[in-house]
Structure 1
Amino acid sequence: MTDPRAEEGRPGGVVHVRAVGPVLQITLDRPHKRNAVDPAMTVGLEAAFTRLEADPGLRVCVLAATGDYFCAGSDLVLGAGPHTADGGQYGMIRRSRTKPLVAAVDGPALGGGFEMVLAADLVVASRNAWFALPEGARGRLPGAGGLLRAPARLPRNVAVEMMLTGARLDAARAYDLGLVNRLVESGAVLRAAFELALDAITSAPESVAQILRGLERIEEPGEQLGWGATAEAMDVLRGSSDHTEGTAAFVERRPPLWVLSAAQRAAIARAATLPPAGS
C-alpha cells in the first residue's frame, strides 16, 4: 500500500511507497513535470528512506518513476526544498544506507535525476533511457553529487564531456561503460529491477549491511573532498554574471550570450582546415 505520509503536498509532486515482501518500492509520480522534484517530493523521499532503514523486514529498495521521464532534477520554479538532515538533497543523495538501492530508469534522467541514479548502488535501465548533466549551459554545475560521482562511476573523460557539453549518455553506452548493471527493453525495467533487488539480498543481511558500510568508509575521504569542492564552486557561480545570464536565458527560452551562433561555429570550423599562416 502507498504510505499516506509520503503523499503530503498534493497537488504538487507525489512519492508513492509500497512494500512488496522485503522490497520497498519508491516511485516518483509527477509525470506532467517530468518528475522534477518539488519540496513535497523531498519530504516524501526523506520519509521513505527513513522507513527503509527503520523496518527490519525491508532489505532492499527500488527507486522508479511514472511517465516518460525518470526525473528531470529539481523543479525550476518551486525548487526541491531544503536539504534534509539525514539525506541531503532530495532526502536521499547523501544518505548513509545499510540496504541496497536499485535505480529503475525507464526514460531520461538528467541533472538531479541523473545524480539520483549516481547515488544508487545498482542501476537497471531501458534502451530508451539516457543520462545528462546540462547544468553548465545555465551557468550552474552539477551540485547534487554529479561533480564528484560522475567521474568516479564513469571514465573521467566521459564524465567531463557530459558536464562541459551537456552531451547525452545513452543507456546502451552506459551499460558498456559499467554504470548500468542491466539493460532491458522499455516496459521491462521494473520487473528486472525487482529481480536484481532480490538477487542483491541473497547474501546475509548483516553481510550486505557491512559491505555497504565498508564501501562508504572507503569512499568517504574522496566524497568529503568532493562535496567541499562542489560547495566552493557553487558559491562562486551563484555570485557570477554567468549564473544570472544562464537563468535569464532559460526563462526567456533563448541561448545564453556566451553561446556561439551557427555562423560563428562554421567560420571557426573552416579556419581549422586551413594551413597555418606563413606556411
Structure 2
Amino acid sequence: MPDAAPAIIVDRPGPGIMRLRLNRPERKNALATPVLQELASALAGADEAEDIRVALLVGSESVFAAGADIGELAASGPDDSVESPRFLAWQAIRAFSKPLVAGVEGWCLGAGAELMLCADIVVAARNARIGLPETGLGIMPGAGGTAILPRRTGLPRAMDMVLTGEPVTGETAWSIGLIARLADAGQAGQAALALAKTLSNRAPVALRAAKASLRLAGQLAEHEHLLHERRAFLRLLGTADKTEGISAFLEKRTPDWSGA
C-alpha cells in the first residue's frame, strides 16, 4: 500500500520562511491531536533554527480547518486531564516566539478558528467563513475561543460569534479587528506569503522582542508595560542587528541581519 499523505506539508517558499500547509482534505483539515502535535513540533524546531525567521500557516482554497476531529471529540469525557496532550500542543503552538502568519481561505471553524487565533497576523479571503459553532454541539470553545477572541474583537462581538455559532465573512472579520488583512478569494495564501517575505527581511531579534512585548498588552498594567517595553528596547540597543540596521540605513543599503 502507498504511504498515507502527510497531514502537514512543510516547505520553504523563500529565504527565512517555513510554510506549514494543512493537508487532510478528506477530513476538511480537521485538527486531531496528532496534527496539533505535529504543528507544535514543527514550530518548536523553527524556533530553534537560525535560518527560519517567519512561519506561515495555510490550508486549502476551500477550507483552512473545519474544526476538531469529531471522532476524537466524541470519545472525550469530563475526566480528561486539563493538561492533556492536546492542551499542551495548543500551549506549544502559542509559545512560538517568531512571527506566525496565517493565510485563511474558505471555512475556518471551531478549532480551525482557534488555530487562526494563534497567528500574529492573519490574511483572510474576503469570502472566508470564520466561526465557532461549538455551542450547537453541546460544548463550547476550549482552545482560545472564549479567552483570546474577546481580546481581539471586544466582548460584544465575541459573545455574538460564540453564543450564536454563526460564522462571519472575511470582510466582517476584518471590520471587527479579528484579522489584520484582506485578500481576494483564492489569493489569501499568496498574500500571506508576500507578507511573510516582508517580515523575513526585517531584523529577527527585533521582531521577536516586539512580538513578546505586544503580547503583554492586556496582561500588564500600562505603567508596567511601558517599563517592560523600555527594558526590551534598551536590550536591543546592544545587539549586532541594531548596529547593522543603523549602518545600513546611513549607507543606503539593504541590511544583512545576523539575528544576534
TM bracket, shorter-chain basis: 0.7 to 0.9
Q: Is the 8 A contact 2:36 2:90 kept in 1?
A: no
TM-score by length of 1: 0.69
Structure 1 residues 88-237: aligned runs within 5 Å: 88=90, 92=93, 95-220=94-219
Q: Is the 8 A contact 1:53 1:99 kept in 2?
A: yes
Q: Which residue number corresponds to residue 63 of structure 1?
A: 57
Distance (whole Å) between structure 2 residues aligned to residue 181 and residue 164 of structure 1: 24
Q: Which residue number corresponds to residue 83 of structure 1?
A: 86
Q: Is the 8 A contact 2:57 2:102 kept in 1?
A: yes
Q: Which residue number corresponds to residue 80 of structure 2?
A: none
Amino acid at match of 1:175: W
Per-residue CA distance 1:65-113 (angstroms, 9 max, x = gap): 125111012101035982264x436x52xx3222111110011111110
Distance (whole Å) between structure 1 residues aligned to residue 72 and residue 4 of structure 2: 13
Q: Which residue number corresponds to residue 258 of structure 2?
A: none
Distance (whole Å) between structure 1 residues aligned to residue 218 and residue 62 of structure 2: 33
TM-score by length of 2: 0.73
- How large is the Cα RMSD of the aligned pairs? 2.3
Distance (whole Å) between structure 1 residues aligned to residue 18 and residue 219 of structure 2: 26
* 1:42 aligns to 2:36 (yes or no): yes
Question: How far has the Cα of 1:176 moved from its partner?
Answer: 1.7
Q: Is the 8 A contact 2:44 2:96 kept in 1?
A: no
SS in 1 for 2:8: strand
Task: Note the residue ranges of structure 1 that are not aligned, 5 or more in a row.
Answer: 1-9, 223-279
In structure 2, relative to structure 1, the CA distance for the partners of 1:58 and 1:150 (3 Å cut) is: same
Q: Is the 8 A contact 1:111 1:135 kept in 2?
A: yes
Question: How far has the Cα of 1:151 moved from its partner?
Answer: 0.7
Q: Is the 8 A contact 1:101 1:122 kept in 2?
A: yes
SS in 1 for 2:72: coil
Per-residue CA distance 1:114-159 (angstroms, 9 max, x = gap): 0111111001111220111111111211110010111111132111
Amino acid at match of 1:16: I
Aligned length: 209
Q: Is the 8 A contact 1:134 1:166 kept in 2?
A: yes
Distance (whole Å) between structure 2 residues aligned to residue 157 and residue 113 of structure 1: 21
Distance (whole Å) between structure 2 residues aligned to residue 161 and residue 217 of structure 1: 26
Q: Is the 8 A contact 2:33 2:86 kept in 1?
A: no
SS in 2 for 1:53: helix
Amino acid at match of 1:57: D
Amino acid at match of 1:23: I
Q: Which residue number corresponds to residue 14 of structure 1?
A: 7
Distance (whole Å) between structure 2 residues aligned to residue 56 and residue 220 of structure 1: 29
Distance (whole Å) between structure 1 residues aligned to residue 101 and residue 147 of structure 2: 20
Structure 1 residues 19-38: aligned runs within 5 Å: 19-20=12-13, 21-38=15-32
**Could you tell me the percent identity over the aligned residues?**
32
Q: Which has the higher contact order (CA 8 A, sep 6+)?
A: 2
The structure number with the bigger radius of gyration is 1
Partner of residue 54 from structure 1, selected from 31, 34, 48: 48
Distance (whole Å) between structure 1 residues aligned to residue 146 and residue 99 of structure 2: 23
Q: Is the 8 A contact 1:13 1:38 kept in 2?
A: no
Amino acid at match of 1:42: L
Distance (whole Å) between structure 1 residues aligned to residue 87 and residue 207 of structure 2: 25
Distance (whole Å) between structure 1 residues aligned to residue 87 and residue 138 of structure 2: 25
Distance (whole Å) between structure 2 residues aligned to residue 166 and residue 102 of structure 1: 25
Distance (whole Å) between structure 2 residues aligned to residue 78 and residue 30 of structure 1: 15
